[in-house]
Amino acid sequence: MDEQKPTYEALGVSSQKEDVHDAIKHEDGGLFPDAFCKIIPDIAQDPTYCSLVHADGAGTKSSLAYMMFTETGDLSYFNGIVQDSVVMNVDDVLCVGADSSFLLSNTIGRNKKLISGAVIKTIIHAYETFLHKLRDMGLPISSCGGETADVGDLVRTLIVDSTLVARMKRQDVITAKNIQPGDVIVGLSSSGKTNYEDVEYNSGIGSNGLTLARHGLLNHQYYSKFPECHSPEIEEKWTFFGQHSLHDKVPHTNLTVGEAILSPTRTYTPILLDLFKSHRPELHAIFHNTGGGQTKCLKFGSNLHFVKNDLLPLPPLFELIQKSSGTDWSEMYRVFNMGHRMEIVCSEGFAQNSVLKIAKKYDLEAKIIGHVERVENAPTSKAHGSNRLTIESPMGTFNY
């Protein structure tokens, strides 16, 4: 491998999406600018309610599902990317406290030459199956159908996206404006096994950083084997430059590399709904560590110093990605969730007496992983640029 360290940007992807944020910085921030998602006036024009429209998807994870299916003929590899697409929307919206009236639509873009009708049928059925599971967890969510487009000129294999619409009472909105110095940060594990998941073990990968995970783990045999699964604009040295095949085992797990990367994104729906029932005022902020990984919190609140100094154990897959790709640890924390994908900011007493107990009820590993301090002598501004993050880990101390 080239001595130069790989970065997410070298693969044509940005963990921080600076250009996107620059493009929208002057746009209306909605009714609650400090909320995790943009919130708009109620679609039914009720002044006591508000609405959210959220769009996200499985990203390039769908490309790996295609690779595994091509090698094995097993259509079930497409089931997980549907869960990824739904959870990336649902769990984002849960971060603002929404818990009623969810409507979901899907948008599938395919290269019809490679993605058959059997694959599309599997995906559509997987949507209905997973939405049924969410309803069983207590989330009132319904399908509005969707759109399947044959766009082979634009899409090399497959895109699985979803759009979610929700309504909620304005008085129930949770925003980062409520964060207080001295609050603790509770991390909810992204890996392992909960009592509401079907998988025996979740690698914790989620749906972010998959471009780096795929190319940094998989070896160069896949460059010529799957030309449809990499961009011709990326230098060949950064295309499938890792050390492993799809079928190598991930250390300390029963998963292959392909299976581990395809672990479906865990939803935290039952834990959060449980907290909303009687503890909503105690929840000062909720962060979903998706784009930006462990640095996601920097985008919310102002003049805050987030200190993460007691993280959950690092799941084996992230260690394997770093070792195989040679990516700097500081970059790893910027790209991946690194072991916990949902954070709850609250008082220490509430964390100990309620959050951790509710997480245990669902066999979900959780712990206080840090705290929040005030940035002293910060400029008087609502800009998130005054925020700071310190991560203290066995791999080093990193400041963002």
Helix orientation angle between 79-94 and 269-279, rounded to the nearest 10 degrees: 20
First-to-last C-alpha distance (Å) of the chain: 28
Per-residue pLDDT of the chain (400 residues; tens, 9 = 90+): 445 656 666 666 655 545 544 555 557 789 999 999 999 999 999 999 999 999 999 999 999 999 999 999 999 999 999 999 999 999 999 999 999 999 999 999 999 999 999 999 999 999 999 999 999 999 999 999 999 999 999 999 999 999 999 999 999 999 999 999 999 999 999 999 999 999 999 999 999 999 999 999 999 999 999 999 999 989 999 999 999 999 999 999 999 999 999 999 999 999 999 999 999 999 999 999 999 999 999 999 999 999 999 999 999 999 999 999 999 999 999 999 999 999 999 999 999 999 999 999 999 999 999 999 999 876 655 556 799 999 999 999 999 9
CA distance 303 to 384: 7
Written as six digits, the tokens of 139 are 């989330």
Please, are residues 229 and 165 in contact by the beta-carbon 8 Å criterion? no
Q: Who's near 338: CB < 8 A, 6+ residues apart?
A: 293, 294, 311, 314, 315, 318, 332
Q: For each of the domains in the chain, give its residue range(s) and CATH number, in order of start.
A: 9-399 (3.90.650.10)
Tokens of 266: 């865990």
How far apart CA 241 and CA 102 sit, in angstroms, is: 41
Identity (one letter) of the amino acid at 228?
E
The pTM (predicted TM-score) of the whole model is: 0.92
